[in-house]
Structure 1
Amino acid sequence: MKNKQLIQQFMEENGIEFNKPFWVKTKNEIGMVKCRIIEDKKIGIPETEYYSEKEEKWNVAGVMWLMLVMFGEGYEIIPQPMYTLTEIKNRIMGEVKKQKKQWGDESELTPHQWLGLIQEEVGEIAQSVNETYLPNKTKSQLGGKENIQAEIYQAAALLIRFSERIEGE
């Protein structure tokens, strides 16, 4: 492609990587659109996809969408992936299933025992935050945004499981 460097420059300037989601904010009725640019090494023309919440799948947006985003007025690139409520819910419920499989029936636990487990998970969130953002890191392998998110999802799943336990009384 003659202007491959133009697309690469656009991606660099906006913090976009091939195959990684980013958001496009539009000033029209569309609003926010989750996108990704797929590198096609066979023909050399990148393809753009958008995520459909309704269908819960990626769809081809075409080269014209990329051109609109690159050159059109009223499009703002947001490189950090923003998770939708549906994605967050799915990740938490996946963690709920994982915990239930790992720990089995925990109906014998008292509310105070549940609270202790929840406090332990919140402590792990704090540890990940500290190892990410404080200057005196001692266990940096526990830090990073991925670890923070993982701990948040574990705590949220535990809260849901505790709620189920209370509902079952």
Structure 2
Amino acid sequence: MFMRLTISRRPRIIWPLLIFGFFICGPLTVSSFAADSRIGFVDIQKAVSGTKEWKSSFNKFKSDFTKEKKRIKAREKKIQKMLGELNKQSFVLDPELKKKKEDRLRKEKIAFERYVQDQNAEFGKKEKEMTQIILRKMMEVIKKIGKEKSYTMILEQKVVLYHDKGNDLTKIATRTYDRINK
């Protein structure tokens, strides 16, 4: 009626043997891998931001952002002016006219806040797209460097606690990128 689960003796014997085998053979394979391996390191953020393409794209982005900040400041001053006028005239205005001005000010303020949020999102999106395009190209450059210079692997510097500075490929990656993407 009830099924009884039984555990065979073989897995109990095989697992310890496999683990013992890994402990014995593991160091031998690791040491042979280490002798033949060549590992490089790249600070991706520094490599990307050091390229000529990034610098020119970022300068244009910064210029557009500064222009937009000026437009936002102008709209903000306009709203502040409307608020100041409403506060000065609030005691002498007809209640109906005062309500209309308050509604207009509220709508203008809401529209302004939405506009600022939209512009922040738009500029964030532009910066992300700009970075992604250059990052994709940089990854290809790093792969090319790895193949040409016979690296076993190239790692991001941020995931490593210590590495020999002689294996830092950041400047090489930036120069190679600039040479390829003129």
Common topology (TM > 0.5): no
After TM superposition, the score normalised by the length of structure 2 is 0.28
Write 1 or 2 for the structure with the bigger share of strand.
Answer: 1
Write 1 or 2 for the structure with the bigger share of helix.
Answer: 2
Structure with greater Cα Rg: 2
